[in-house]
Amino acid sequence: MPMIRPCADLRNNYNDISRICHETKEPVFITKNGSSDVVILSNETYEKLKEQYNKTEEERIDKLLSERFDKYYSDFEDFQKEVFAKIDKALEDVENGHFQSLNSFCAETEEKYDFK
């Protein structure tokens, strides 16, 4: 729940506001004449928010992919073995006639997922 304090508390209770920011790692909202005026954060929280904000979309995607990869594979060799096994299975399916044309696949996918 957000902490809201009047602007007079900045002068009269600064140490209390600072303690709250550091302990909760949450912002404290300061009001002036009953309206929202400023927000105070601990420096640690501010730096974390700034770091998250400054990450590029590419970095976020890289991090997500890395986390997913690490969840399913212990190393690159495991990943490579699985990819090659799937390629071998696909080639075997083609050789045995177990495949469908791209047009058929696209039509089936469009119908299944209601694309049009």
pLDDT tens across 62-101, in order? 888 888 888 888 888 989 999 999 999 999 999 999 999 9
Shared-domain flag, residues 59 and 81? yes
Q: Among residues 50, 68, 84, which one ends one of the domains?
A: 50
In this predicted structure, the answer to whether residue 1 has a pLDDT above a threshold of 80 is: no
Beta strand 28-32 with 35-40 is: antiparallel
Together in a domain, 9 and 40? yes
Distance separating alpha carbons of residues 61 and 98, to the nearest angstrom: 35
Residue 116's pLDDT band, with cuts at 50, 70 and 90, is: low
Statement to judge: residues 22 and 61 lie in one domain:
no
Is there a single domain that holds both residue 39 and residue 64? no
Which domain does 81 fall in, by range? 55-112
* Residue 50 pLDDT class (50, 70, 90 cuts): confident
The residues pairing with 36 across neighbouring beta strands, listed in sequence order, are 31
Lowest mean pLDDT among 10-19, 32-41, 57-66, 72-81: 57-66
Q: How many domains does the chain have?
A: 2
68 with 44, same domain: the answer is no
Do 89 and 60 share a domain, yes or no? yes
Q: pTM for this one?
A: 0.47
pLDDT value of residue 104:
92
